[in-house]
Amino acid sequence: MFADELGPRGRRRVALGSVLALVTVAAAVAVALGRLDAAGQLDAARWAPLGDPRVVRFFLGGARNTLLAAGGAMVGATALGLILAVGRLARMPLVRLLAGAWVQFFRAFPLLLLLVFLAYGLPSYGVDLPLLWTLVLALSLYNGAVLGEIFRAGILSLDRGQTEAAYAVGLGYWQALALVVLPQALRRMVPAIVSQLITLLKDTSLGFFVQYEELLRRGQLAGQDFDNPLQSLFVVAIAYVAVNFALSRVARRLEVRQRRRYRAGGIDVTGGPEDLVVVEPHPTPAAG
């Protein structure tokens, strides 16, 4: 169903609401900047250290650590998600039950609590992982469960005829899954997968709570050293916003492309009654 087009009065109300919202936001920003200026937070001396090459390299090191954790977790979560999706659709009831229990448990488990347990609980049992791998493991376990459901939804969205056609040409169950079903399911779910990986990238900032020196932690340390926490964390926030905005645009473009592809893949039937061909029925031979 399509929404009714707004009339003149409705358009005036929308325009008035937009203007009022912009004025309110502008006033709030002006008040905030005024208070920051009065507190000396906008002084050039507080921003100057952030332009020092050594400080820039310090922040870039944090960005590198963030990307290392995100890259490792993306690989781990994707592999785990594929395994869980296949397990959720397995023919054996026990495998389906175990995979489903795993997914439900880790989707419901708070990510921060999981990270804290791996960082501070495992050493009590003699398992002491480096902070990088602790963060990678926590992100992989949590996001792997989410990606598993995304992959499963992609597989279930395919027409059953795809699998039947694979069986018809002699492929076995695992061959059909690997060569026919999974490639199409992954292609169809690319926008959702990219969106979840963007969330994973943002979740790397939780490494701050276990002293892993990713970008947020480096921002806090720089703020302590130069007594400018607001300025340092502002730079970190801008970096996160820029990266995630770019990735969100990529996800949006992939989604639009997918819609166009499936729309273009449809079959347009044209013609009219004049195109119909009358087929004369063959006479039925008389029974002897």
CA 168 distance to own-chain centroid? 36
User: What is the structure's pLDDT at 272?
Assistant: 43
- Looking at residue 285, its amino acid is P
pLDDT digits (tens, 9 = 90+) for 52-106: 999 999 999 999 999 999 999 999 999 999 999 999 988 899 999 999 999 999 9
Confirm whether pTM is higher than 0.85: no
CA 1 to chain centre: 29
CA 243-249-251 angle, to 5 degrees, is 105
Any idea of the CA torsion for 56, 61, 63, 65, to the nearest 10 degrees?
A: -170
> For 273, what's the count of Cα atoms within 13 Å in the CB-facing half-sphere?
0
Alpha-carbon distances of 99 from 87, 95, 102, 153, 166, rounded to whole Å: 5, 6, 5, 15, 25
Instruction: Decide: 224 and 233 in contact? Cβ < 8 Å.
Output: no
Rounded CA Rg of the chain: 28
For 51-167, strand residue ranges (E) read: none
Instruction: List, for residues 149-196, the tens digit of each pLDDT value.
Output: 999 998 888 888 888 888 888 888 788 888 888 888 888 888 888 889
DSSP 158: S
- Would you say 198 and 142 are in contact if contact means Cβ atoms under 8 Å apart? no
Question: Distances from the Cα of 146 to the Cαs of 72, 141, 193, 216, 285, in angstroms?
Answer: 16, 9, 10, 25, 65
List the structure tokens of 63: 């960005």
| Residue 283 pLDDT exceeds 60 | no
75 vs 29: CA distance, rounded Å: 41
- For the chain, the first-to-last Cα distance in angstroms comes to 61
For residues 23 and 273, what is the distance between their CA atoms, to the nearest angstrom?
Answer: 60
- Residues 203-244 have pLDDT tens digits of 999 999 999 999 999 999 999 998 889 999 999 999 999 988
Residue 199 reports pLDDT greater than 70: yes
266 pLDDT tier (thresholds 50, 70, 90): very low
Condensed to tens digits (0 to 9), the pLDDT of residues 144-155 reads: 999 999 999 988
Domains belonging to the chain, first-starting first, are 47-263 (1.10.3720.10)
What's the pLDDT band for 268 if we cut at 50, 70, 90? very low
